[in-house]
Structure 1
Amino acid sequence: MNTKADFDMGTTLAADKDWWRGAVIYQIYPRSFQDSNGDGIGDLNGITSRLPYVASLGVDAIWISPFFTSPMKDFGYDVSDYCGVDPMFGTLSDFDAMVETAHSLGVRVMIDLVLSHTSDQHPWFVESRANRDNPKSDWFVWAEPKDDGTPPNNWLSIFGGSAWQWDARREQYYLHNFLVEQPDLNFHCPAVQDALLDVVRFWLDRGVDGFRLDTINFYVHDQELRSNPALPKEQRDATIAPSVNPYNHQLHVYSKNRPENLTFLERFRAVLDEYDATTAVGEVGEAQRGLEIMGEYTAGDDRVHMCYSFEFLSGTAPTAERFAKVLHDVDKHVSDGWACWAFSNHDVVRHASRWNLSDPAKRALCTLLLSLRGSVCLYQGEELGLNEADVAFEDLQDPYGVEFWPEFKGRDGCRTPMVWEASNQNAGFTSATPWLPISTEHLHAAAGVQEHDPAALLHHYRKALNFRRTHPALIKGAHEKVTATGSVLHFTRTHGDQTIYCAFNLSDDVVSHDMPDGNWVTIGAELGSTQPGIDGKLHLGAWQVSLSLKT
Structure 2
Amino acid sequence: MSVTKDPDWWRGAVIYQIYPRSFQDSNGDGIGDLPGITQRLEHVAKLGADAIWISPFFKSPMKDFGYDVSDYCDVDPMFGTLADFDALVARAHDLGIRVMIDLVISHTSDRHPWFLESHKNRSNAKADWYVWADPKLDGTPPTNWLSIFGGSAWQWDARREQYYLHNFLTSQPDLNFHNPAVQQAVLDATEFWLKRGVDGFRLDTINFYFHDKHLRDNPGLPVEMRNDRTAPKVNPYNHQMHLFDKSQSENLAFLRRFRALIAPYGAAAVGEVGDSERGLQIMAHYTSGGDKVQMCYPFELLQPARLGAADLKATFDQLAAEAPDAWPCWSYSNHDVVRHVTRWGLSDQAARMYLVLLACLRGSICIYQGEELGLPEAEIDFEDLQDPYGIEFWPEFKGRDGCRTPMPWVQDNANGGFTTAARGWLPVSPAHLPKAVAVQGEGSMLAYYRAVLAFRRAHPVLALGAMSAVTVEGDVAWFSRSGDEAIFCAFNLGPDTARVTLPEGRWQALAGELGGTAAAGQGVDLPAWGFALARKA
The bucket for the TM-score relative to the shorter chain is over 0.9
Which residue of structure 2 aligns with residue 493 of structure 1? 481
Which of 439, 442, 445 is the matching residue for 1:457?
445
1:464-498 deviation digits (Å, cap 9, x = unpaired): 10010111110111101311122111100011x31
> Counterpart amino acid of 2:493?
L
Shift of 1:533: 7.5
**For the residues of structure 1 that align with 2:11 and 2:451, how far apart are their CA atoms?**
20
1:284-313 deviation digits (Å, cap 9, x = unpaired): 000110110011100111000000011111
1:138-181 deviation digits (Å, cap 9, x = unpaired): 00000011111111110110000110001011111100000000
Which residue of structure 1 aligns with residue 120 of structure 2? 130
When the two structures are aligned, how many residues end up with a matched partner?
536
Which of 224, 240, 243 is the matching residue for 1:250?
240
Which residue of structure 2 aligns with residue 6 of structure 1? none
CA contact (8 A) 1:300 1:337 kept: no
Which residue of structure 2 aligns with residue 5 of structure 1? none
**For the residues of structure 2 that align with 1:399 and 1:533, how far apart are their CA atoms?**
53
Which residue of structure 1 aligns with residue 394 of structure 2? 405
Residue 548 in structure 1 maps to residue 534 in structure 2: yes
> Counterpart amino acid of 2:148?
I
Which residue of structure 2 aligns with residue 375 of structure 1? 364
**For the residues of structure 1 that align with 2:469 and 2:4, how far apart are their CA atoms?**
34
Which residue of structure 1 aligns with residue 327 of structure 2? 338
> Counterpart amino acid of 1:539?
D
1:425-470 deviation digits (Å, cap 9, x = unpaired): 10000011100011100111111110xx211011110011001011
Shift of 1:15: 2.7
1:61-96 deviation digits (Å, cap 9, x = unpaired): 000000000000000000000001000000000000
TM-score of the superposition, structure 2-length normalised? 0.99
CA contact (8 A) 1:141 1:186 kept: yes
Shift of 1:510: 1.5
> Structure 1 runs of 4+ off > 4 angstroms?
none
**For the residues of structure 2 that align with 1:418 and 1:231, how far apart are their CA atoms?**
39
> Counterpart amino acid of 2:244?
Y
**For the residues of structure 1 that align with 2:137 and 2:520, how far apart are their CA atoms?**
76
Q: How does 1:108-257 map to 2 (within 5 A)?
A: 108-257=98-247
Which residue of structure 2 aligns with residue 390 of structure 1? 379
Shift of 1:532: 3.7
Residue 95 in structure 1 maps to residue 85 in structure 2: yes
CA contact (8 A) 2:24 2:36 kept: yes
Residue 39 in structure 1 maps to residue 29 in structure 2: yes
Which of 353, 362, 373 is the matching residue for 1:364?
353
1:376-399 deviation digits (Å, cap 9, x = unpaired): 000000000000000010100000
Residue 77 in structure 1 maps to residue 67 in structure 2: yes
CA contact (8 A) 1:427 1:443 kept: yes
**For the residues of structure 2 that align with 1:278 and 1:417, how far apart are their CA atoms?**
29
* Counterpart secondary structure, 2:360: coil
**For the residues of structure 2 that align with 1:309 and 1:59, how far apart are their CA atoms?**
21
> Counterpart amino acid of 2:455?
F
Q: How does 1:300-339 map to 2 (within 5 A)?
A: 300-339=289-328
CA contact (8 A) 1:480 1:492 kept: yes
Which residue of structure 2 aligns with residue 19 of structure 1? 9
**For the residues of structure 1 that align with 2:290 and 2:536, how far apart are their CA atoms?**
32
Unaligned runs of 5+ in 1: 1-8
Which residue of structure 1 aligns with residue 341 of structure 2? 352
Shift of 1:321: 1.3
Which residue of structure 2 aligns with residue 522 of structure 1? 509
CA contact (8 A) 1:533 1:539 kept: no
Which of 466, 487, 492 is the matching residue for 1:478?
466
**For the residues of structure 2 that align with 1:247 and 1:339, how far apart are their CA atoms?**
26
Q: How does 1:417-428 map to 2 (within 5 A)?
A: 417-428=406-417
**For the residues of structure 1 that align with 2:290 and 2:474, how far apart are their CA atoms?**
38
* Counterpart secondary structure, 1:26: strand
1:388-436 deviation digits (Å, cap 9, x = unpaired): 0000101000000000001000000000000111011100000111000
**For the residues of structure 1 that align with 2:15 and 2:25, how far apart are their CA atoms?**
22
**For the residues of structure 1 that align with 2:130 and 2:99, how far apart are their CA atoms?**
30
**For the residues of structure 2 that align with 1:455 and 1:231, how far apart are their CA atoms?**
48
1:100-135 deviation digits (Å, cap 9, x = unpaired): 000000000000000100000000000000111111
Which residue of structure 2 aligns with residue 281 of structure 1? 270
Matched residues, percent identical? 63
Q: Which moved more, 1:229-238 or 1:108-117?
A: 229-238
Q: Which moved more, 1:209-218 or 1:499-508?
A: 499-508
**For the residues of structure 1 that align with 2:153 and 2:475, how far apart are their CA atoms?**
43
Unaligned runs of 5+ in 2: none
**For the residues of structure 2 that align with 1:143 and 1:316, how far apart are their CA atoms?**
39
> Counterpart amino acid of 1:454?
E
**For the residues of structure 2 that align with 1:292 and 1:176, how far apart are their CA atoms?**
25
CA contact (8 A) 2:74 2:82 kept: yes
CA contact (8 A) 1:24 1:375 kept: yes
CA contact (8 A) 1:187 1:219 kept: yes
Which residue of structure 2 aligns with residue 537 of structure 1? 523
* Counterpart secondary structure, 1:300: helix
Residue 259 in structure 1 maps to residue 267 in structure 2: no
**For the residues of structure 1 that align with 2:28 and 2:520, how far apart are their CA atoms?**
57
Shift of 1:255: 0.3
* Counterpart secondary structure, 1:312: helix
CA contact (8 A) 1:350 1:388 kept: yes
1:254-294 deviation digits (Å, cap 9, x = unpaired): 0001011111101000001121x210000000011011001
**For the residues of structure 2 that align with 1:77 and 1:17, how far apart are their CA atoms?**
28
TM-score of the superposition, structure 1-length normalised? 0.96
* Counterpart secondary structure, 2:468: strand
**For the residues of structure 2 that align with 1:524 and 1:134, how far apart are their CA atoms?**
64
**For the residues of structure 2 that align with 1:197 and 1:429, how far apart are their CA atoms?**
35
1:320-359 deviation digits (Å, cap 9, x = unpaired): 1111111111111121211000000000000000000000
* Counterpart secondary structure, 1:461: helix
Which residue of structure 2 aligns with residue 3 of structure 1? none
Which of 469, 472, 496 is the matching residue for 1:509?
496
**CA pair 493-533 structure 1, distance change in 2 beyond 3 A:** closer
CA contact (8 A) 2:183 2:254 kept: yes
**For the residues of structure 1 that align with 2:526 and 2:148, how far apart are their CA atoms?**
43
